């Protein structure tokens, strides 16, 4: 298996098939999703995760919810479809692609004339289009990222945080798409992957993807990044994003902000790779980005083993916001731009 064969969400027959990312890397298995409630649960419990992949899943969730609506009256159908949308919106508050995909599906429903059945058919077509478009977007991000990486006489070593690969998108990946393009372009010698506490997406998922592709990968704990940079092991950092404000402030998995501060201290360029659908132009700065807080169990327990004593309090924000001033460039499908240049893409 390679990146090109990793698709976290596909449509097969009359249902969506999701790779169960909670079981990787120990077990590769899939889950069939045939209704909107199950899709909402899959997003909430991180069976599917990564902002673009969540967007694709939500788009199919909207179709599944539409398929469950019994009324043939257009007005009634649209009211009930909004209820499906609200259910999906409540699953993950930070990833803007979720809201973008839902809004696009609602727009499709409003714009489609004809019968309710014709609207339902259009919703499935739009979900499939979102998936196809995202795959091409990721490939474009990878190619643009390759052009933006530091020009050095030797091959590069890159550091990434969390997972922004094929598993987090429709395929190929954003940050890991840049890695893949660098590998294919013979400009990469190794990837360093932060393990990414508390859910260990770097250690579990990024490393798994790299192994499938044959890309040399070294997993480090999150608190080793500064040491590795001081030793000259890292030429650049490339991460994904779940939401980017209009000024370029970027929300990504918790720990990204600290990594950006460390990179700045060591003069290591820090790149964010994300599609333009991840940019929320309604938000002026990152202070407006809602930060999801997840179950404390993610911190104090691994498997069946409890790590901390009873009576301890926990704080488990899933994301942090990296200020635009720490970001060398934001790599999009339209090219790599300085954070302050993002607004030129605003519709």
114 Cβ partners below 8 Å, 6+ apart? Answer: none
Q: Taking the domains of the chain in order of start, what are their residue ranges?
A: 3-137, 141-345
pLDDT in tens, the chain (347 residues): 555 579 999 999 999 999 999 999 999 999 999 999 999 999 999 999 999 999 999 999 999 999 999 999 999 999 999 999 999 999 998 888 999 999 999 999 999 999 999 999 999 999 999 999 999 999 999 999 999 999 999 999 999 999 999 999 999 999 999 999 999 999 999 999 999 999 999 999 999 999 999 999 999 999 999 999 999 999 999 999 999 999 999 999 999 999 999 999 999 999 999 999 999 999 999 999 999 999 999 999 988 899 999 999 999 999 999 999 999 999 999 999 999 999 999 97
**Superfamily of 3-137 according to CATH:** translation initiation factor eif-2b, domain 1 (1.20.120.420)
Tokens at 32, concatenated? 């069939």
- Whole-angstrom distance, CA of residue 274 vs CA of residue 216: 23
Q: Which of 222, 242, 249, 320 is catalytic?
A: 242
Closest to 46 in 3D by CA, of 77, 19, 79: 19
DSSP string, 48-94: S-SHHHHHHHHHHHHHHHHHH-----HHHHHHHHHHHHHHHHTS-SS
Sign of the CA dihedral with 83 first, then 87, 88, and 90 last: positive
Closest to 275 in 3D by CA, of 160, 164, 163: 164
Coil, helix or strand at residue 241: coil
Coil, helix or strand at residue 220: strand
Tokens at 220, concatenated? 């480090």
Closest to 164 in 3D by CA, of 44, 267, 32, 271: 271
**What are the φ/ψ torsions at residue 328 (nearest 5 degrees)?**
-65, -50
Tell me: domain 141-345, CATH 3.40.50.10470, correct? yes
Q: Is 242 a catalytic residue?
A: yes
pTM value is: 0.92
Strands 335-337 and 329-332: antiparallel
Query: How far is C-alpha 159 from the geometric centre of its chain's CA atoms?
Result: 17
- Whole-angstrom distance, CA of residue 244 vs CA of residue 229: 26
Sign of the CA dihedral with 322 first, then 147, 196, and 61 last: positive
Distances (CA, A) of 253 to 118, 123, 127, 256, 291: 39, 31, 26, 6, 10
What was the pLDDT predicted at 4? 55
What was the pLDDT predicted at 302? 87
Task: Let me know: does 153 contact 189? Beta carbons within 8 Å.
Answer: no
- Whole-angstrom distance, CA of residue 74 vs CA of residue 91: 27
Packing angle of the helix pair 116-148, 175-184 (nearest 10 deg): 50
Tokens at 28, concatenated? 């590769």
- Whole-angstrom distance, CA of residue 40 vs CA of residue 61: 7
What was the pLDDT predicted at 53? 96
What was the pLDDT predicted at 222? 97
- Whole-angstrom distance, CA of residue 7 vs CA of residue 319: 24
Q: How many CB atoms lie within 10 A of CB 265?
A: 11
Peptide bond before 198: cis, by omega within 30 degrees of 0? Answer: yes
What was the pLDDT predicted at 303? 84
**What are the φ/ψ torsions at residue 175 (nearest 5 degrees)?**
-60, -45
Peptide bond before 25: cis, by omega within 30 degrees of 0? Answer: yes
């Amino acid at each position: 298996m390679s990146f090109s064969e990793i698709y976290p969400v596909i449509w097969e027959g009359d249902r969506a098939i999701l790779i169960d990312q909670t079981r990787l890397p120990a077990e590769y298995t899939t889950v069939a999703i045939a209704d909107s409630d199950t899709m909402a649960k899959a997003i909430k419990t991180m069976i599917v995760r990564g902002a673009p992949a969540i967007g694709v899943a939500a788009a199919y969730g909207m179709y599944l919810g539409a398929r469950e609506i019994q009324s043939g009256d257009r007005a009634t159908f649209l009211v009930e479809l909004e209820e499906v949308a609200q259910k999906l919106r409540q699953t993950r508050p930070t990833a803007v692609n979720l809201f973008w995909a839902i809004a696009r599906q609602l727009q499709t429903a409003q714009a489609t004339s004809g019968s309710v059945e014709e609207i339902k058919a259009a919703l499935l077509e739009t979900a499939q289009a979102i998936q196809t478009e995202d795959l091409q977007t990721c490939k474009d991000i990878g190619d643009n990222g390759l052009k933006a990486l530091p020009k050095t006489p030797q091959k590069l070593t890159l550091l990434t945080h969390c997972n922004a690969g094929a598993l987090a998108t429709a395929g190929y990946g954003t940050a890991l798409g840049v890695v893949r393009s660098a590998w294919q372009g013979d400009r990469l010698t190794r990837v360093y992957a932060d393990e990414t506490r508390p859910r260990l997406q770097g250690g579990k998922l990024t490393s798994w993807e790299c192994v499938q592709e044959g890309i040399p990968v070294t997993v480090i704990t999150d608190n080793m990044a500064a040491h590795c940079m001081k030793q000259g092991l890292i030429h650049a950092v490339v991460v994904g994003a779940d939401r980017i404000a209009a000024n370029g402030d970027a929300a990504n998995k918790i720990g990204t902000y600290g990594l950006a501060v460390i990179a700045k201290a060591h003069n290591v360029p820090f790149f964010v790779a994300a599609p333009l659908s991840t940019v929320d132009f309604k938000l002026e700065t990152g202070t407006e980005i809602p930060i999801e807080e997840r179950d404390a169990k993610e911190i104090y327990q691994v498997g069946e083993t409890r790590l901390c004593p009873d009576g301890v309090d926990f704080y488990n924000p899933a994301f942090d916001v990296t200020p635009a001033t720490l970001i060398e460039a934001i790599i999009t499908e339209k090219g790599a731009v300085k954070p302050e240049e993002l607004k030129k893409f605003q519709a």
